[in-house]
Amino acid sequence: MKTHFELPKAALSVMTLLEDKGFEVYLIGGYVRDLLIGRQSTDLDMATNASAKAMIEIFNDHPLSLIGEKLGTVGVKIEDTWVELTTYRSESTSSNYRHPDEVRFIGSLKDDVLRRDFTINALALNVYGDLIDYTDGLNDLEQKRIRAIVHPEDRFAEDALRILRALRFSSQLGFSIEAQTAQAMIADQDLVKTLPIERIAAELDKLILADHASEVMRAYPQLIKPWFDYDLEALDKLVHFSDKALRYLCLLNKMGHDEIEKQLTSLKFSKAFIKMVLDLKALSLISTHDRYSIKVLMGQYGNELLDLAIRYQKIMGIAGIDPDTYQKLKSEKPAVTLKMLALNGNDLTELGYTGKEISTSLNALLDLVMNEKIENNREALIKALKKLH
């Protein structure tokens, strides 16, 4: 694997400015990891011996983000790209398994690297594009292996989220988790309980949507199921779903409406997403070849959701909504909602209808159209309207 690279324009601009002022600076972390394995990445993170104050002075002509200033982190926008700079630091133990009890700014890249989570995230590039590797991360990258730096128990005690991050990286990259690291993850799994559910859910979501989710969820159910009680038997089907809602429905397929709602609500998903999964669950239970019934579903749920539901039924082997009848109806574009009728409320008002009789009449006309008893054109609808009253 090559060890010399061309730096992105924004990174080179930032590094050159800092080096010209006499500071050290290195591109480090996820961007370097992804660059080495040919994976797309936009997160430019850097480590430097410059203080936050010095960085602010050097980049005072550029847009800055100072949210992490107290922790030595400054965001700089340059070449239309945000770059995050952090002063070299070491961290003490964490009493809450989330945030370090103390942050100490130090003058060594090596010491800064040793505080990081995994060896594959501890690789750095200098301003010349040369690779710096203090933790044998390049070897782990070549072996497609996730390994905690030095003592995994210490890394997880510093930040319990790293346990879930290891699973997420494994799912995204298709890497195995090194044995000692995996053992520590299982031994320290109770530490995850100290984390806010939002952080847990964010990592699980990335894990579930990644290409290798099935393998990870099959290998580490004891670390995932306490937060997301998925069906192990459904994992073989998961790879066939790219849509997020279908992925979650697949994993929760044995649950009923209320159980699914409770599970997704516990992970703080939006009401809109939960409704979408529940609507797909309801549709997955419907079996029909009837044109009128399918029209009702088209009007109630929309074609986009019906497309997903029929795909789900096919992959899961469920006898459900007849795809041929549905596709034929889609091509015909029948009126399935009041908005699609060739007559509307204003038309009925002009014809002398008032109040509730307007909506009652329109619904009756729509039902006649959907039952294919009359055509959806103004003349036929007015004629049918007169027969209704």
What's the confidence (pLDDT) of residue 2?
74
- Write out the two tokens for 65: 């983000």
Q: Is the pLDDT of residue 97 over 70?
A: no
pLDDT tens readout for residues 102-113? 556 677 899 999
What's the confidence (pLDDT) of residue 302?
96
pLDDT tens readout for residues 20-44? 999 999 999 999 999 999 999 889 9
Task: State the DSSP string of 52-92.
Answer: HHHHHHHTTTS-EE-TTGGGTEEEEEETTEEEEEEE-EEE-
| % residues pLDDT > 70 (the chain) | 95
Q: Is the pLDDT of residue 94 over 60?
A: no
Which 3 state secondary structure label does DSSP give 185? helix
Per-residue DSSP letter, 355: T
Q: Is the pLDDT of residue 189 over 90?
A: yes
219: closest CA among 156, 174, 284, 161? 174
For the entire predicted model, the pTM comes to 0.88
Task: State the DSSP string of 21-33.
Answer: TT--EEEESHHHH
- Write out the two tokens for 234: 């459904």
Virtual torsion, Cα 83, 84, 89, 93, nearest 10 deg:
-150
Virtual torsion, Cα 82, 84, 85, 86, nearest 10 deg:
170
